[in-house]
A = this chain, B = another copy of it.
């Protein structure tokens, strides 16, 4: 349905999760906070239950306020914590092209940032990836994706998204799910090289280099 440039921050998948199964755009009941008995209730259920917005509502909101995202740069580390590899997802665009990306996704209503990180990492890397979510909420950077290109290095045709970005060591076995075709591990040199750069869109290549700079590599 969405022609034009592929969405930088995983639009199709996100949209499907949150609105696809709804038939008549019905609203989430207004008493949501009261129903939430656990602290972060969406973590396990977000992938299967009807979303909080209909597709139309989400589109409408996206044109009028910034949408909060988390982004995770998966890395392999050695015993001393030094980054040896960066993991990038390979996705197929609707036009047959391929692109690489980090793990991204929305923070849902009443969800903690760290639970959103865990949920999206499990969704994209599978259930046994063993991600080590950072203990501090301080992101290494905040990436601001604007629908208008050129304001920041980040660009999303569809929305104004503000992504808190984290570096997440992953020690387990990664099994990409859903619409990600593959996860490939690159050395820091490969990840900052021209070939990989060309396969990343919307500034995600910049984000990867910012992440590598932050862990002490030459970006």
Residues of A participating in the B interface, judged by any CB pair closer than 8 Å: 27-28, 30, 32-33, 36, 39-40, 52-53, 60-61, 63-68, 75, 77, 79-83, 106-115, 117-118, 132-142, 144, 146-148, 150-153, 160, 162, 164, 167, 169, 203, 206, 209-210, 213-219
Indicate if the CB atoms of B53 and A64 lie closer than 8 Å. yes
Closest 10 CB pairs of A and B: A81-B133, A213-B213, A219-B219, A137-B142, A210-B213, A33-B147, A80-B114, A52-B64, A206-B218, A39-B151
The reply to whether B40 and A109 form a contact with Cβ atoms under 8 Å apart is no
Find A82's partner among B53, B135, B153, B162 (CB 8 Å cutoff). B135
CB distance from A105 to the nearest CB of B (A): 13
> Could you say which of B63, B139, B140, B213 contacts A32, with CB atoms under 8 Å apart?
B63
In the complex, what residues of B have CB within 8 A of residue A30's CB?
Answer: 63
A116, closest chain B residue (CB): B66
Asked if B53 contacts A151 (CB within 8 A), the reply is no
Greatest chain B CB density within 10 A among A135, A150, A203 is at A135
Q: Which of A39, A64, A167, A209 is the most central at the interface, judged by chain B CB atoms within 10 Å of its CB?
A: A64
Chain B neighbourhood of A111, CB < 8 A:
66
Q: Measured between C-beta atoms, what is the minimum distance from A157 to chain B in Å?
A: 9
Cα A132 to Cα B148 in complex, Å, equals 26
The residues of B that contact A107 with a CB separation of less than 8 Å are 66, 162
Q: How far is the CA of A148 from the CA of B27 in the complex (A)?
A: 20
- Assess whether B153 is in contact with A216, with CB atoms less than 8 Å apart: yes
Point out the residues of chain B lying under 8 angstroms from A28, CB to CB.
63-64
Indicate which residue in B64, B80, B117, B135 contacts A133 across the interface (CB closer than 8 Å): B80
